[in-house]
Amino acid sequence: MNILTEKFNTPYHSAPFHNINNEDYLPAFKELIKKSEEEIDAIVKNPEDPTFENVIEALAYSGEQLDVASNIFFNLNSAETSDELQQIAQEVSPILTEYSAKISQNEALFNKIKKVYDEKEKYNLNDEQKMLLNETYKGFVRSGALLNEEDKEKLKKISMDLSLKSLQFGQNVLASTNNYFKHITNKEDLAGIPDAIVEQYAEEAKERNLEGWVITLQYPSYIPFMTYAENRELRKELALANGKKSFDGGEFDNQNLIKELLNLKQQKAELLGYKNYADYVLEERMAKSPIKVIDFLNELLTKAKPYADKEIEELKSLAQADGIEEIQAYDHAYYAEKLRKAKFDLNDEELKPYFPLNQVQDAVFGLAEKLFHLTFEERNDIPKYHEDVKVYEVKEIIAVSSSGITETDFKALLYVDYFPRKGKRAGAWMTSYKNQYQKNSENSRPHISIVCNFSKPTKDTPSLLTFQEVTTLFHEFGHALHGMLADTQYPTLSGTSVKWDFVELPSQFLENFCYEPEFLKTFARHYQTGEVLPDEKIEKIEQSKNFMEGYQTLRQIGFGLLDMNYHTKVAELKNKSVKEFEDEYTKAIQLYPANPETAMSPSFSHIFQGGYSAGYYSYKWAEVLDADAFQYFKENGIFNPEVAAKYKKLLSSGGTKDPMELYKSFRGSEPKVESLLKRAFG
């Protein structure tokens, strides 16, 4: 018996991590693919006339066990990987890609889907059913259902190659990140770095059986060093190492892989009748076209550039006072922190004691209770994949009796995994192990996960968050709410299954609460004394909200423009290196001299491994939505129950309606770019 192919005998049928062995995965995938194919065969061979129920609905509910097994495997490959797991991923990915292609190019199945689609007027479909039908039909067409047999085979081969190469890209970045560390034996080299961070570096050295201190390229280690270290040569060395991730000509170099990935995407787009991959992607986004995206980004660039230039001039003045004639990119964090301290008398290290992780988590849980009536209770009887992980049972308060008895409904499981490990990729993300859906009068609830890389607690100090990490936790929790509050009929339209440039609205929206004094005072308390964060510091946090906003905006615009150019101008890469291409299409946003030895593209996992290909602009696009949405809350009170209820409806609706329609139902009007500009630049 293979545990991954059986119904899980765990609370809420949660993933049985404690009983899964690596050797279970490959046979499980083969068996579950076979089972899913049998479900598809049953739809195809059904002798009855095709209907919405026996084709579209049956297809939406098929392959559930395979989806769950895939989620478990690929989530672990990101959060708790190993050489063995990565090897299995190389074997599993082409099998799953072939299975997907087999379904999407099943002519008999598509003919049934097309018949239902062509005759949709005769069905009395509700809005969600109409959306499911349209998305199913379009999904098959966009996967090659209208191609001839020869082209279908080409598309299948391209999809398999893309799957493997994007997987390899991520593995190379992880290996390149993990392969570097800086061993320091002279404490003078750590001048300027706060004691708590020095202690963290000492712990890292101890784990490696080394004397002294160790800095890695993991963000909780790298960022503080670049922010506080007075030793400019060491900052330069660390920045060079970070900028050479998968860009050093070695075993884990990604430059050729980038060209291969982009060529494959271009081939896929052309095969399906699109000019380029960006056209293919954006057809299914709110933005609709590359021109609209580039115009949007350039409009923001025009507005933000003067602010960014002014910010850099201020940093140059500080650097010149230290005898530095030409400030470099590796000086930015150091002098930005100095400037922030001078302007607001505020630095991350003096704020961190007020933001112990447990208090920040309690705050975001409390916010969810206040706005959406959710409660969170830790469960120790639900299996976990690592001892650092915690699991919470999430319930919704549906009634409180006159005697004070609370009636609740189970809403979701929430896994939280906060600390860096060698087997975990960098960054922060939300994902799911199981989607929400309704079937046979049962509302099957989701299992959601948040994964971050915050500083670990030490023997003397709990995990203390920088203010940026506080906003990161709120960001990922916003995504998690989108998943946990899901209340749709079909799994393919549930939770975060929305247009990609809409998906960041819930996450970025929640970050706004971190800057509200009324809310901050409820949880920002010193972990040793219990003192509430003083009003003057809260005021400075508010004032510093837009600190370096011009620089940050240009940085995001640069990523978005580079992404869009990669996916519209792939032919140019035939005669250019990745570095040359990157330099050319980011020069409009360059604020520091380019370094010939570094490039960010070879570690740009968002677009070459993750789902942001031709979609990185969506962060700024969603900022317009979130600024406009929070403005609505501000106008009516940030805890206003009526506004919160309308927002909850938006979240719970998932992808059942066009996102602009959902937004207008919540806000009463389309979002205005002025809301973002006002928030960012006043």
Give me the pLDDT at residue 477, please. 98
| Shared fold status for 255-342+552-619 and 353-546 | yes
Q: What is the pLDDT of residues 274-304, one digit of tens each?
A: 999 999 999 999 899 999 999 999 999 999 9
Report the amino acid identity of residue 672.
K
Alpha-carbon distances of 243 from 190, 288, 648, 668, rounded to whole Å: 21, 33, 41, 45
User: Which architecture characterizes domain 3-104+106-146 according to CATH?
Assistant: Up-down Bundle (1.20)
Give me the pLDDT at residue 348, please. 83
User: Which architecture characterizes domain 255-342+552-619 according to CATH?
Assistant: Orthogonal Bundle (1.10)
Q: Mean pLDDT across the chain, nearest whole number? A: 95
Give me the pLDDT at residue 312, please. 97
Confidence of residue 672 (pLDDT cuts 50, 70, 90): confident
Quickly tell me which residue has 């990669």 as its tokens: 566
Render 163-183 in DSSP notation, one character per residue.
HHHHHHHHHHHHHHHHH-EEE
Give me the pLDDT at residue 500, please. 84
Give me the pLDDT at residue 446, please. 98
User: Does position 242 have pLDDT exceeding 90, yes or no?
Assistant: yes
Give me the pLDDT at residue 586, please. 96
Give me the pLDDT at residue 403, please. 77
Quickly tell me which residue has 């230039």 as its tokens: 309
603 contacts 254 by C-beta, under 8 angstroms = yes
Catalytic residue among 476, 504, 511, 623: 476
Section 398-414 average pLDDT = 88
User: Does position 682 have pLDDT exceeding 80, yes or no?
Assistant: no
Q: How far is Cα 28 from Cα 4, in angstroms, rounded to an integer?
A: 6
Q: pTM, whole model, 2 decimals?
A: 0.84
Confidence of residue 559 (pLDDT cuts 50, 70, 90): very high
Q: What is the pLDDT of residues 216-235, one digit of tens each?
A: 999 889 999 999 999 999 99
How far out from the chain centre does Cα 298 lie?
A: 24
Q: How far is Cα 285 from Cα 15, in angstroms, rounded to an integer?
A: 32
Torsional class of 434: left (φ above 0), alpha (ψ -120 to 50), beta (otherwise): beta
Give me the pLDDT at residue 506, please. 96
Give me the pLDDT at residue 1, please. 85
Give me the pLDDT at residue 197, please. 93
What does residue 372 show for φ and ψ, rounded to 5 degrees?
-125, 5
User: Which architecture characterizes domain 353-546 according to CATH?
Assistant: Orthogonal Bundle (1.10)
Residues 6+ apart with CB under 8 A from 269: 275, 276, 277, 279, 280
Q: What is the pLDDT of residues 512-526, one digit of tens each?
A: 999 999 999 999 999
Q: What is the pLDDT of residues 570-626, one digit of tens each?
A: 999 999 999 999 999 999 999 999 999 999 999 999 999 988 999 999 999 999 999
User: Does position 5 have pLDDT exceeding 80, yes or no?
Assistant: yes
Q: Annotated catalytic, 539?
A: no
The domain segmentation of the chain, as residue ranges, is 3-104+106-146, 180-243, 255-342+552-619, 353-546, 627-681
- Residue 403: Cβ within 10 Å count: 5
pLDDT > 70 in the chain, percent: 100
